[in-house]
Amino acid sequence: MGDSHLSTIFVTEQGALLKKSGRRILITKDKKVILERHFSDVARILLFGNIQLSTQLISSVLQEGIDVSFFSMFGKYKGRLVGQNSKNIYTKLSQLTYWNDKEFSLSLAKETIAYKILGQQKVLMKRRNGINITDSPIADSIKKLQKYREEVFKQTDLSKLRGVEGISSKNYFSCWDYILPEEFPFEKRSRRPALNEVNSVLNFSYTLLLNEITGILNSYGFDVLFGYYHSLKYGRISLTLDVMELFRPILIDQWVIQMFRERKLTKNIFSNNEENGIRFTNEGLKMFLAQYQKWINQIEANKLIEIYVKGLEKSYMEGKVDGIKQGAEKVLPYLL
């Protein structure tokens, strides 16, 4: 099972070496220890750029079930070293038993997307920047989101549901320019490459969240390749993407908006070139990761994700959607 008190270590110091000393992880640079943590306190490690691991540490993190993820110094995800997963074969067996049940998968997907849209509504209401929402583009978007949320439960297959979800998200992001500072125009959602700073931060934040959710799903015995909403595709961690749908607006979006509005993210922490697009500078990356870690610790993000994952586990074990409904109902009030 997961353990929400465990921490994530972010390492951005170029040339750093991670090694083992007894039951502790040491992060060193020029033979000086800059950070140390006990194995029992660490859930996952994220490395950015030129960071080295000793073979003894690699062996230990695999044995301890600690995931290690590798990123470029600009924050581009490269891959992960996955520790020993949960031995809870019954969760995986239940998951795979229902995986090909189209009706059950559709029911789970409907609940997830409906709660995601509810989260989007709440984000717009909470982050409306003092605008009178009774007469503004934000009010119009909130009303449309309610309509799309009702449409979710009328869909008869996953492809149609994805269509509703896509239109809903486009509507949601269409009014972000009204709640962000003028110096950071949003325009529209863009992924690879990100067309502006806000999209760059969203993309990177979603990648970090992806790592958190994948680690927790693995710890509960799920096979992340088999989802109920995202289709099966070579190498795609579909179940992680499914679970992440709920958490995009409530864990990431509202926080990113807040960071820009409080001017904690400024123009000088970004770089822009043809090869890498808009990304953090080295110092900007360090600053951002510190803020991100502060945020996920403050809201106990791992605990909230675990609540939802436990609900998903219950749904698969019982063959009913009640589990994830209960999980979502418990999670949303904490954040919105």
165 annotated among ligand-binding-site residues? yes
φ and ψ at residue 302, rounded to 5 degrees: -60, -40
Contact (CB, 8 A) for 193 and 278: yes
Q: Quick one: which of 26, 41, 5, 49 has its CA closest to 289?
A: 49
Give the separation between CA 334 and CA 237, rounded to whole angstroms: 27
64 annotated among ligand-binding-site residues? no
Give the separation between CA 242 and CA 266, rounded to whole angstroms: 32
* 256, amino acid identity: V
Consecutive H or E run containing 101 = none
As given in the structure block, the two tokens for residue 153 are 């439960």
Contact (CB, 8 A) for 184 and 196: yes
Instruction: Indicate the SS3 state at residue 162.
Output: helix
- Residue ranges for the known binding site are 165, 230, 245
- Residue ranges for the known binding site for Mn(2+) are 165, 230, 245
